[in-house]
Amino acid sequence: MFESVGWGEILVLIVAGLFILGPERLPEAAAWLGKSMRKVRDFASGARQQLKDEMGPEFEEYRKPLEDLRQLRNFDPKRAVTQHLFDGDPDPLGLNTTNGNGGPDPVKPNGHPAASTTTPEPLKPGEKPPVDPDAT
């Protein structure tokens, strides 16, 4: 509710409270405000619980669209595209998958997976090295 209120605004409210109420009545006013906010929060949670008890399973049906709207507040274009195009898979291309050693699979600069990282056996006498098709 008060997520957008920063420390600067809080400081301005405290200074304004000091001037309006004076230093004698400011602690009493702050305590009253805290108690009132706690009561409002308790009333709201009690009303929500009573509504949930009376409606039963239908309460969750009506609550689902509200949760979807709440998620729209945290709209992030990258997350939305990932969710809708790739069914929420954070790594749709498999670039961050792990190999058997627990580390990421090596990837060539062109985006294709690199060959095995194990060292090849040394060539036998008279044997020619294999030709790399990507070397051209």
Q: How confident is the model at residue 53 (pLDDT cuts 50, 70, 90)?
A: confident
Are the beta carbons of 50 and 43 closer than 8 angstroms?
A: no
pTM above 0.85, yes or no: no
pLDDT > 90? residue 35: yes
pLDDT > 70? residue 1: no
What gap in Å lies between CA 76 and CA 80, rounded to an integer?
Answer: 6
Q: What is the pLDDT of residues 60-117, one digit of tens each?
A: 777 777 787 777 777 777 777 777 777 766 676 767 765 555 455 555 555 555 555 5
What gap in Å lies between CA 117 and CA 4, rounded to an integer?
Answer: 51
| Interacting residues of 26 by C-beta distance below 8 A, sequence separation 6+ | 17, 18
CA 82 to chain centre: 13
Average pLDDT over residues 8-22: 86
Q: How confident is the model at residue 31 (pLDDT cuts 50, 70, 90)?
A: very high
